[in-house]
Structure 1
Amino acid sequence: MKTFRRYFKFADDKLDNSLSVIIHTLGYHIHPANTPYPDANHPESHYFSWEKGRRLKEYQILYICKGEGAFEATGMPPQTIEAGTVILLYPGTWHRYKPLLSSGWEEYWVGFSGSFAKHLLEQECFNPQNPIIKVGFNTEFLATFEKLLDVVEIREESYQKLASFLLIQLLGILYSSVLLSNQKFSRKEKIVGEIKKAITDNWQQAIDFEKLANTHGVSYAWLRKTFKEITGTSLNQYHLSIKLRKAEQLIYETDSTLSEIAYACGFESVHYFSRMYKSKMHTTPSELRKIN
């Protein structure tokens, strides 16, 4: 397999902040089998190690069109990534990914921010806890990505506006894929989806899962088994992951002390909060506060 890469980074460009979506980074890379990942020639802005993972400051679409690999992120079990998969990465969420050594993979990515992007990706059909979207070998999606790469590479007058339009097209294709996928949900998936929403809506409270099961017309035993089957995690761990993400948001966005954040997020002590955060987020709240 031939190695090929195109990288564009716009962090130092003068960005047009009037746009509803703003592209920060864009690229395409064929990563050969039996070679370390990420490639040693990745620019510093893109490089990360599997051991440490990373957190992004912006949204990113990562599309794997060939090959297979693995993906891990805070609050979800390890995922197997197949060709035709989009990984939707959210700002501030710890994650890591890599292709199988035996297969390598072919990847497209675009990092972006903006009011429209934030509004769309906060819709109920998108979920940071389930960032894996199966779009398959979607010719429209691929053609739009290729056009976006071409527009940015040439950088003719008003290229930012055209690139913004093409990115909105990509987001629209993703949105349609997610809606179509949601329409195919089974009864099990619908009930689990309702339970997830109930947990999210009441994340600060102690949740009685037996009562929650009864209100949805199922037994507690059925709910525990089915929730784990569909989400890959338990009810308690799912609730904990939401609390930790809310705490992380408060660390980023407020000047509240770690003790105040711990109690606001329903933890019995700052020590317990720090221990849980370290075990799930791969860093401590105090370390996150230092780099914020």
Structure 2
Amino acid sequence: MERTFIKYFVNNSMGPDKNISSVGFEEIPSGSSYPTLNHSAGYYFNADKGRVLREYQLVYVTNGEGVLETENGGVFSIKRGMIFVLFPGEWHTYYPNYETGWSHYWIGFGGSEVEGWIKRGYCSKETPVFKVGINDEIVSLFRKAIYVANEEQSLYQQVLSGLVVYLVALMCSIDKNRCVGNGDFSSKIDYACVLMRELVEQSVSMQEIAVKSGMGYSLFRKLFKERMLCAPVQYFLSLKIQKAVELLTATTIPVKEIAYQLSFDSPAYFSARFKKQMGKSPVEYREEYSSK
């Protein structure tokens, strides 16, 4: 994924049909100032002074660590694999550690359905932090929200609202049912899956993924196949084809450029892999399913 994607729905009335205010992802390298200057008026803030929002936000940190401070909850140490909730009308501030930086997704929202979850006590201003680990399904939901927000197709706000409801329910469930003990390897495989999604446009070896996930390659490959029912390289190639589907149906980028953008060795190899997985060549698939 790009290092930065930020979408604000300006002039959003936050009415019954318009509950999503913003969607985004930012990678903040170590040694960088924060917040960046990419944000809309009303959302940019000084980390020392903090801010107050008019809506909820979910913020999911997938790499690095930092600090969250809120009016009612106090100070929290935020680490990789945590989601925190920002409440409307409550002062807060948050920022990555200067030495580590962080990568984080977020989505801003309102709406009675999600607020019902909040009011039923699944989370509170006093306990706004959820330990979900590096969860591939949660990352996929945030990435899906970014895709939907970027396309803005018919009923996109309703789709985004549904994704938020599922996100809130899922994070609450994982946090309340998480187990300690032998979950370390499981979380490392989840992290590897997330890494592959983040690096889907790059040429990266599975040995590198194993190292980044904190395992030797042999153990990594064995545990990955047990958990995901396929070899790591097959999973990574499948993610590349999924990304190709998005590009073929939602853009007019030439097939040859898509092949190189996704770091395939050649357009011919890309076309062969695509047809094997999807049953059609990239050109045939675009002709049948393209929305452009």
Question: What is the TM-score when the length of structure 1 is the normalising length?
Answer: 0.57
Aligned partner of 2:121: which letter? E
Q: Do residues 120 (structure 1) and 117 (structure 2) align?
A: yes
Distance 2:14 2:46 in 1: 29
Q: Do residues 129 (structure 1) and 148 (structure 2) align?
A: no
- Select which of 102, 115, 140 maps to 1:105: 102
Aligned partner of 1:94: which letter? W
Residue aligning to 1:67? 64
Equivalent residues of 1:4, 1:30 under 8 A apart: yes
Equivalent residues of 2:17, 2:157 under 8 A apart: no
- The residue correspondences of 1:67-216 to structure 2 (distance < 5 A) are 67-181=64-178
> Quick one: structure 1 residues 92 and 14, their matched pair in 2 at CA, closer, same or farther if it must change by over 3 Å?
closer
Residue aligning to 1:12? 11
> Quick one: structure 1 residues 182 and 137, their matched pair in 2 at CA, closer, same or farther if it must change by over 3 Å?
closer
The count of aligned residue pairs is 181
> Quick one: structure 1 residues 156 and 77, their matched pair in 2 at CA, closer, same or farther if it must change by over 3 Å?
closer
- The residue correspondences of 1:8-47 to structure 2 (distance < 5 A) are 8-13=7-12, 17-18=16-17, 22-47=19-44
Equivalent residues of 1:3, 1:32 under 8 A apart: no
Distance 2:74 2:162 in 1: 34
Equivalent residues of 2:64, 2:96 under 8 A apart: yes
TM superposition shift of 1:181: 5.0
Percent pairwise identity = 30
Residue aligning to 1:221? none
TM superposition shift of 1:168: 1.5
Distance 1:40 1:113 in 2: 25
Aligned partner of 1:177: which letter? I
Equivalent residues of 1:125, 1:178 under 8 A apart: no
Equivalent residues of 1:33, 1:105 under 8 A apart: yes
Distance 2:115 2:179 in 1: 21
Q: Secondary structure at the match of 1:124?
A: helix
Distance 1:182 1:130 in 2: 19
Runs (4+) of structure 1 moved beyond 6 Å?
none
Question: What is the TM-score when the length of structure 2 is the normalising length?
Answer: 0.57
Backbone CA RMSD of aligned residues: 2.4
The CA deviation string for residues 140-162 of structure 1, in whole angstroms up to 9 with x for no partner, is 10001101110110111221222
Equivalent residues of 1:57, 1:92 under 8 A apart: yes
> Quick one: structure 1 residues 169 and 41, their matched pair in 2 at CA, closer, same or farther if it must change by over 3 Å?
same
The gaps in structure 2 that reach 5 residues or longer are: 182-292
TM superposition shift of 1:13: 3.9
> Quick one: structure 1 residues 67 and 183, their matched pair in 2 at CA, closer, same or farther if it must change by over 3 Å?
closer
Equivalent residues of 2:72, 2:125 under 8 A apart: no
Aligned partner of 1:5: which letter? T
The gaps in structure 1 that reach 5 residues or longer are: 185-292
Distance 1:51 1:90 in 2: 18
The CA deviation string for residues 56-110 of structure 1, in whole angstroms up to 9 with x for no partner, is 1111101111000111111333211100010111111111111011111001111
Aligned partner of 2:145: which letter? L
Distance 2:124 2:154 in 1: 36
Q: Secondary structure at the match of 1:40?
A: coil
Distance 1:50 1:88 in 2: 17
Equivalent residues of 2:35, 2:95 under 8 A apart: yes
Distance 2:5 2:151 in 1: 13
